[in-house]
A and B are shown apart, each in its own frame.
Chain A
């Protein structure tokens, strides 16, 4: 057992942080959102630095890919980090042309980066399908959730099958990747809120000195740290079904809690496009709905751990 980052892992995170310093951050996310774009430069920079295949490295694997995914999310990177760094390599053994969109036929609707995805990994139930997309396959959808969104025209016969059982594998890795993105995004939402309550003064004192806020922020920390370690463990153990569902359920549930608390504590300022919170908080809502949301993840825990019958 060892719950500390190795020197190599710390070095990886520092390198990703440095890249994100140049190619990510809340203001860049706001600018990209206004133009309806994804972050081509960050994508290229991550690839160039070798992070696109970090899950497949000799000395690195799923755990490091999850750490990098979390880091990119925390830095407001506008690209599908989880799908590209974790899900695609684990399912296909290689990095896929981005943006990569994850699609579930059981949960139809617009998806992240579905406005321009070049590749889709489709959960078609028993199997996953790998679909190369052409421009006509994707339709942008206007969205307020601080990420490019669109509909992708795919069905159970699109593209190539990744083999029997690959549907389960896709859902397992999707949950781990999603949890990593949720954790990074929650952390950033909490960080900007903590900074805000330390600086915002009312009644002659910083509002962060009020116990009514302190306890609620401390509970957010417990929820986020819990989700973080569940995610890292699930990634390190190669996404076992129960662990993946547990990480996703904890993260999705915490996400809404963190959303409500951070917005309550930042008051009117938090709703504006002039404060960074909305970049992270709005993304939290988009992420927590994926793959059926917390309810589906929770039921997946019950079916995996206790063989609870699932409704068809």
Chain B
């Protein structure tokens, strides 16, 4: 057991912070106020990720055979922490490097690898993911968007919802059902769908959590070339499970929460509230939640570094990450009182972007279900 970072890791973190200090513009807080799906942040991410790529950091987690740096999961966790901490300047591209690229490496054809991996590594391509449907949310395997093979194409009909990062997305990591008679996990297929394919249309679903956060994707006789299929037809659930296993810890929510909490303590001091024992206790409780989020995530990274199969530790980390976001964002509004009513105010921005933590990428309830069955061994019925 060892709780200290290696010297190399510490050095990397310092270099990364210096890089961020130099690369984030003075108006970054304003630019990122609308959230990572906004047009402003999408545009910024292209230039930013290209610079990360030049430093060899964008795909440092990838194997050297694919131009990556063979970085350890710990080293990559530092990158994720530092990025999330400042509001994820990679925008949606964290998905590309964390799981879309690695899944293409595992299941892709040579053509798919040659098409997608260099562009992801260069940091100039945006992806979105088409998973949820109006009738398939937490119960994702009930998805119904249909893809029927016709000649060299799949003809896709149906719709996806809650899709983020659609601004400027060139590709969608799309889950479809290729066998209409199939049930549940069987008969699902992954398509690496070009967003400019005829028959795909997009509607923004306006939401209080951020500009261009949610979209609905409509597929109306959309023709997706069969060459876009990732992995065997009907075996898509295995592909997506592999993809999501890469995304085990997900967003390093505690990293931004920790930074925000320190700022909130500073604001409390300026406002003459830091001597109030009630405020102290709330700050202390939020700090506990942040630290629990960090340590339970580190436990998952350690398992990953040791090549372990995914375990329910992931679900613990995700629940803890949400609890820390909630604890800090509650305070973010309270410390500033009615100042928080102003859109884009420090407390409001944090609180708004933290709001979906318990829903995004698997709800808290699904994570608790998995802890109950896989950690505690509680019976289903």
Real binding pair: yes
**B291 and A230: CB pair below 8 A?**
yes
Per the 8 Å Cβ criterion, residues 327-381 of B in contact with A are 365, 367-369, 371-373, 375-381
- Interface flags for B260-285 (1: CB within 8 Å of A; 0: not) read 00100110010000110100110111
**B368 and A214: CB pair below 8 A?**
yes
**Among the listed stretches A91-99, A103-111, A216-224, A268-276, which one makes contact with chain B, having 4 or more residues with CB under 8 Å of it?**
A216-224
How many Å from the CB of B48 to the closest CB on chain A? 27
Q: A4-B306, A226-B320, A298-B288 are in contact. List 12 more A-B contacts (CB 8 A).
A: A3-B298, A3-B303, A198-B377, A215-B365, A218-B319, A221-B376, A225-B316, A227-B292, A229-B295, A246-B284, A249-B284, A253-B285
Supposing A3-B302, A4-B306 touch, asked if A226 and B292 sit within 8 A by C-beta, the answer is: yes
| Residue of A194, A222, A246, A297 ringed by the most chain B CB atoms within 10 A | A222
**Among the listed stretches B1-9, B81-89, B170-178, B209-217, which one makes contact with chain A, having 4 or more residues with CB under 8 Å of it?**
B1-9
| Residue of A214, A219, A303, A309 ringed by the most chain B CB atoms within 10 A | A214
**B291 and A221: CB pair below 8 A?**
no
Query: Can you pick out 14 interface pairs between chain A and chain B where the beta carbons lie within 8 Å of each other?
Result: A4-B1, A6-B1, A205-B381, A211-B369, A214-B376, A218-B376, A221-B316, A225-B296, A233-B295, A299-B284, A305-B262, A305-B287, A306-B266, A308-B265
**A230 and B2: CB pair below 8 A?**
no
Q: Which residues of A contact B380 (CB under 8 A)?
A: 209
**B371 and A2: CB pair below 8 A?**
no
**B296 and A217: CB pair below 8 A?**
no
By Cβ-Cβ distance, the 6 closest A-B pairs, closest first, are A298-B284, A226-B292, A214-B372, A3-B302, A218-B371, A302-B280
Chain A CB within 8 A of B99 CB: no
CA distance A143 to B292 in the complex (A): 33
Chain A CB within 8 A of B107 CB: no
**A198 and B379: CB pair below 8 A?**
yes
How many Å from the CB of B321 to the closest CB on chain A? 10
- Secondary structure at the A interface, as helix, strand, loop or mixed, is helix
Supposing A299-B277, A306-B262 touch, asked if A209 and B378 sit within 8 A by C-beta, the answer is: yes
Q: Which residues of B contact A286 (CB under 8 A)?
A: none
- Interface flags for A189-205 (1: CB within 8 Å of B; 0: not) read 00000100110000001
How many Å from the CB of B206 to the closest CB on chain A? 32
Chain B CB within 8 A of A9 CB: yes
How many Å from the CB of B296 to the closest CB on chain A? 6
CA distance A213 to B1 in the complex (A): 34
- Interface flags for A289-303 (1: CB within 8 Å of B; 0: not) read 000000101111111
Chain B CB within 8 A of A208 CB: yes
**B368 and A219: CB pair below 8 A?**
yes
Supposing A1-B302, A301-B288 touch, asked if A222 and B280 sit within 8 A by C-beta, the answer is: no
CA distance A1 to B3 in the complex (A): 5
Q: Which residues of B contact A205 (CB under 8 A)?
A: 379, 381
**A298 and B379: CB pair below 8 A?**
no
Chain B CB within 8 A of A232 CB: yes
Supposing A217-B372, A229-B296, A230-B292 touch, asked if A246 and B287 sit within 8 A by C-beta, the answer is: yes
How many Å from the CB of B33 to the closest CB on chain A? 25
CA distance A38 to B359 in the complex (A): 49
**A305 and B1: CB pair below 8 A?**
no
Supposing A198-B379, A214-B369 touch, asked if A298 and B319 sit within 8 A by C-beta, the answer is: no
How many Å from the CB of B46 to the closest CB on chain A? 33
Q: Which residues of B contact A223 (CB under 8 A)?
A: 292
Closest to B308 in A: A4
**B1 and A221: CB pair below 8 A?**
no
**B302 and A4: CB pair below 8 A?**
yes
- Interface flags for B308-321 (1: CB within 8 Å of A; 0: not) read 00000000100110
CA distance A223 to B288 in the complex (A): 10
**B379 and A222: CB pair below 8 A?**
no
Q: Which residues of A contact B320 (CB under 8 A)?
A: 222, 226
How many Å from the CB of B369 to the closest CB on chain A? 7
Supposing A219-B319, A221-B371, A250-B291 touch, asked if A299 and B378 sit within 8 A by C-beta, the answer is: no
**A218 and B368: CB pair below 8 A?**
yes
Q: Which residues of B contact A225 (CB under 8 A)?
A: 296, 299, 316
How many Å from the CB of B297 to the closest CB on chain A? 10
Per the 8 Å Cβ criterion, residues 220-266 of A in contact with B are 221-223, 225-227, 229-230, 232-233, 236-237, 245-246, 249-250, 253
Supposing A3-B298, A215-B368, A233-B3 touch, asked if A305 and B376 sit within 8 A by C-beta, the answer is: no
How many Å from the CB of B125 to the closest CB on chain A? 32
**B371 and A222: CB pair below 8 A?**
yes
CA distance A194 to B377 in the complex (A): 9
Q: Which residues of B contact A35 (CB under 8 A)?
A: none
**B280 and A9: CB pair below 8 A?**
no
Per the 8 Å Cβ criterion, residues 162-208 of B in contact with A are none
CA distance A299 to B285 in the complex (A): 9
